[in-house]
Amino acid sequence: MTVEHQGSCHCGRIRLTLRETPTDAGDCNCSMCRRRGALWHHCHPELVSVEGEGTGYVQGDCLLTTWHCPVCGCTTHWTSLDPSYERMAVNLRLFEPELWRDLPRRLIDGASF
């Protein structure tokens, strides 16, 4: 049986489908994530579908593109600029709270990189 969780930005322009159930939520303290308040679920890109056109932002280290909705501004996900890196992350806060509310938080110490 295939599991699918649906999420979206506030205005609904960008819609996410996650085809696995998270077991924890990544809480990053880097300068960007702490300002956004995102909770990240890291997974293989094949487990996520993104519908709608977002705007990408590449931070100083040029490793990731962080995507957000150009209308409502919600941060939706990030993708790697390295095509061989088979990992991405979705912002769990765009999904119903029942999916992420009780998940254990895993600290990602992005501030130390």
Q: Which of 23, 25, 19 is nearest to 48 (CA)?
A: 19
The CATH T-level fold of domain 5-106 is 2.170.150
Q: What is the mean pLDDT of the chain?
A: 94
Q: Where are the chain's structural domains?
A: 5-106
pTM of the full predicted structure? 0.93
Three-state helix/strand/coil letters over the chain: CCCCEEEECCCCCCEEEECCCCCCEEEECCCCHHHHCCCEEEECHHHEEEECCCEEEECCCCCEEEEECCCCCCEEEEEECCCCCCCEEEEHHHECHHHHCCCCEEEECHHHC
**Span 20-39, pLDDT tens digits:** 999 999 999 988 899 999 99
